[in-house]
């Protein structure tokens, strides 16, 4: 298959560094090396599929693209972004040119499938319809978030053009079907790559910087989207807790903030901790976030909230531990901190489980089945 990704480029400096470090003669990466899309491209290449990418958030007339840093404060940049989202993309000159550039890219690449990564605010339904008509391709839409909470009109208008929607959370898939998508599958678009997601050997300096009983790495704002996560961490404030985020941290948890951790740094942080707490965002009621599989692969004990998807992909008490409320969370944290042998045995079983059932190579095999069924 020829697959053209349509995605936003986040952390462009990370991608530039990865491109500069790529060995001579080797195809440079299309995405930052720690992102799900990068692991998908790698796994697709192993199966003989050809991939390319169109970065929909690159300004059509040039200009510097910077990493995003989310904050609850109203900043000039945040206000400008909010105002720009009120303008339909059809009336935004820069967006219109980006759409035209995508059509040109598709004509040259001739994709079998367009792979639309979620949270699109730029590419219009008319552009996607034109590409489908000219190339005969189909569209895969992948997302880890709810269309009720996150999608904008430009995405919802295109839903009936989506031939296959892949979701992490089953409930999100139902919502996309209600919006008109032809098919959906609750195959998490995230997984692990054993060459990257594994326990990391740490220097003494790294262990001193990262060591803690409970590590959390992820997003905590805005609080209306991550209230359950914030409350779970607040319930553990009397433990040895460390919090890492590339975005702002709520005031109640700033005492525990230790900076940002992205890519390999995140895996090193988790490698230094005795356990991590994985509470899904408020918009995920079924479960299936990226950390669910990454934490298991890196070899850190994981306490996750009690959601249907967690039980679908893991076995509680065998390769993961779930909690029902904050009292249950505290009790299980205390128990497993006091029982090293049980904790380490579960960690080993979790790694074996995701390496056997939840790698990106296995996701590609499932994708091929879904594509064949929809052809």
| pLDDT single digits (tens) 10-67 | 888 888 888 888 888 788 899 998 899 999 999 999 999 999 999 999 998 876 665 5
Tell me, what's the pLDDT at 66? 59
Do 328 and 368 share a domain, yes or no?
Answer: no
Do 152 and 279 share a domain, yes or no?
Answer: no
**pLDDT band, residue 79 (cuts 50/70/90):** low
Do 41 and 114 share a domain, yes or no?
Answer: yes
Lowest mean pLDDT among 87-101, 122-136, 187-201: 87-101
Tell me, what's the pLDDT at 346? 98
Tell me, what's the pLDDT at 13? 87
Q: Domain holding 111: CATH number? A: 3.40.50.2000
198 part of a folded domain: no
Q: Which residue has the higher pLDDT, 97 or 80?
A: 97
pTM to 2 decimal places:
0.91
Do 26 and 93 share a domain, yes or no?
Answer: yes
**Structural domain of 128:** 2-191+360-374
Do 153 and 208 share a domain, yes or no?
Answer: no
Tell me, what's the pLDDT at 63? 67
Do 242 and 213 share a domain, yes or no?
Answer: yes
Do 229 and 135 share a domain, yes or no?
Answer: no
Tell me, what's the pLDDT at 67? 54
| pLDDT single digits (tens) 235-244 | 999 999 999 9
Do 77 and 100 share a domain, yes or no?
Answer: yes
Name the domain count of the chain: 2
Tell me, what's the pLDDT at 14? 85
Percent of the chain with pLDDT over 90: 82
Residue 228 above 70 pLDDT?
yes
169 part of a folded domain: yes
Tell me, what's the pLDDT at 274? 97
Do 166 and 60 share a domain, yes or no?
Answer: yes
| pLDDT single digits (tens) 303-361 | 999 999 999 999 999 999 999 999 999 999 999 999 999 999 999 999 999 999 999 99
Do 112 and 253 share a domain, yes or no?
Answer: no
Percent of the chain with pLDDT over 70: 94
Residue 80 above 80 pLDDT?
no
Do 250 and 304 share a domain, yes or no?
Answer: yes
Q: How far apart are CA 27 and CA 362, in angstroms?
A: 23
199 part of a folded domain: no
Do 263 and 343 share a domain, yes or no?
Answer: yes
| pLDDT single digits (tens) 257-310 | 999 988 889 999 999 999 999 999 999 999 999 999 999 999 999 999 999 999
């Amino acid at each position: 298959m020829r697959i053209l990704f349509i995605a936003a480029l986040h952390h462009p400096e990370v991608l530039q560094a990865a491109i500069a470090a790529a060995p001579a003669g080797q195809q440079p990466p299309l995405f930052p090396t720690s992102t799900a899309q990068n692991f998908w491209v790698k796994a697709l290449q192993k199966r003989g599929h050809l991939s390319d990418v169109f970065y929909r958030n690159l300004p059509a007339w040039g200009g510097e693209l910077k990493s995003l840093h989310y904050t609850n404060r109203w900043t000039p940049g945040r206000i400008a972004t909010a105002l720009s989202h009120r303008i339909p993309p059809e009336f935004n000159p820069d967006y219109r040119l980006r759409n035209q550039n995508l059509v040109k890219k598709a004509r040259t690449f001739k994709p079998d499938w367009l792979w639309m990564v979620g949270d699109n605010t730029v590419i219009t339904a008319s552009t996607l319809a034109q590409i489908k008509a000219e190339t005969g391709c189909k569209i895969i839409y992948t997302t880890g978030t709810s269309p009720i909470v996150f999608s904008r009109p430009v995405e919802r208008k295109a839903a009936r053009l989506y031939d296959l929607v892949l979701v992490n959370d089953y409930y999100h898939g139902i919502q996309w079907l209600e919006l008109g998508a032809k098919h959906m599958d609750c195959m998490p678009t995230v997984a692990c790559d054993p060459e990257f997601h594994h326990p990391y050997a740490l220097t003494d300096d790294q262990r001193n910087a990262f060591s803690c009983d409970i590590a959390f790495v992820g997003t905590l704002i805005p609080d209306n989207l991550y209230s359950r996560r914030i409350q779970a961490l607040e319930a553990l404030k009397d433990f040895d807790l460390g919090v890492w985020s590339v975005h702002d941290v709520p005031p109640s948890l700033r005492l525990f903030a230790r900076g940002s951790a992205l890519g390999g740094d995140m895996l090193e942080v988790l490698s230094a901790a005795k356990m991590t707490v994985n509470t899904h965002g408020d918009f995920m009621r079924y479960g299936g976030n990226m950390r669910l599989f990454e934490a298991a692969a890196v070899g850190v004990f994981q306490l996750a909230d009690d959601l249907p998807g967690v039980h679908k992909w893991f076995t509680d008490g065998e390769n993961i531990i779930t909690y029902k409320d904050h009292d249950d969370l505290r009790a299980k944290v205390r128990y497993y901190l006091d029982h090293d042998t049980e904790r380490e045995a579960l960690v080993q079983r979790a790694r074996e489980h995701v390496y056997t059932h939840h790698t990106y190579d296995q996701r590609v095999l499932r994708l091929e089945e879904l594509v064949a069924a929809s052809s």
